[in-house]
Amino acid sequence: MDIVVTETGYPSAGDQNGKNIPSAANQIIALTSILSDYGSDVTILSTYNDYWKSPGQYGIEQSFGAINLF
């Protein structure tokens, strides 16, 4: 059975949450690893940063834009 991940990503900015440290460098590492393992069976969230959203608890919700990685 094939599994398709419908939404994943990593924030480029925000507050640290445990061992998760949002940064542009860590976003590249995370998304490169995800794409290497899953290829076209994954949808990356999101193309652009979503400044219309509330920043959320750790200040990350606006910072999932990944257009600069492609």
What local confidence, expressed as pLDDT, does residue 53 receive? 97
| Alpha helix stretches (DSSP H) within 1-70 | 24-38
Q: Give me the pLDDT at residue 38, please.
A: 87
pLDDT (0 to 100) of residue 39: 86
What is the reported pLDDT for 1?
82
Stated pTM of the model: 0.88
Residue 66 CB partners (closer than 8 Å, separation 6+): 9, 27, 31, 44, 45, 46, 47
Residue tagged 């969230």 (tokens): 45
The pLDDT averaged over each successive group of 10 residues in the chain (70 residues) is: 86 97 97 91 92 97 93
Distance of CA 53 to the CA centre of its chain: 15
User: Which of 1, 3, 5, 7 does the annotation list as catalytic?
Assistant: 7
Given this model, what pLDDT does residue 10 score? 97
Contact 60, 14 (CB under 8 A): yes
61: annotated active-site residue = no
